[in-house]
Amino acid sequence: MKKGILCAAAVLLLLLPGCSGGGAAQTADVRKIADGLIKTVKFQDQMSEINQDTAIQIYGIDSGDVVKAAVYESTGATAEEVAAFEAKDDQAAGRVKEKAEERITTQRAGFQDYQPAEMAKLQDPVLVQKGNCVVLCVSNDNETAKKTIDGFLS
């Protein structure tokens, strides 16, 4: 009986650090974050998922920096986009965030003449880095996007 209790206590002690919010690394399920944004944010365009390799290439990210990615793009008629990346560590996440900022700049240049109405979305997109997670949401619904992301990363 005592051995069983001690084993259970040992298992709990091993699992608890993964549940704490105070650790150095913030790891979340990027698939759930991206899907959550797709479900809660009101997008004007149809959003389609792109595979991880394509997303890494589009963003110009070093594939060694990314553990997992979930990215959705619009049809191209709008600038709407959702991208959630799990980086290998905090430093890699910083590099991924820089690439997301570059992506926003590139999109601004592309949409400025093509679809000027989309510039409002690109002037103030939601871009969050917490620990090793980086999340980008380009939409007209920043308040909902922020709340959704905070719900996953808090």
Domain boundaries defined on the chain: 24-153
Give me the pLDDT at residue 16, please. Answer: 32
Q: For 35-90, what is each residue's pLDDT tens digit? A: 999 999 999 999 999 999 999 999 999 999 999 999 999 999 999 999 999 999 99
**Euclidean distance between CA atoms 103 and 11, whole angstroms:** 43
Please tell me the number of Cα atoms within 13 Å of 147 on its side-chain side. Answer: 7
Q: Specify the pTM.
A: 0.82
Sheet containing strand 126-130, edge to edge, reads 48-50, 66-73, 81-87, 133-138, 126-130
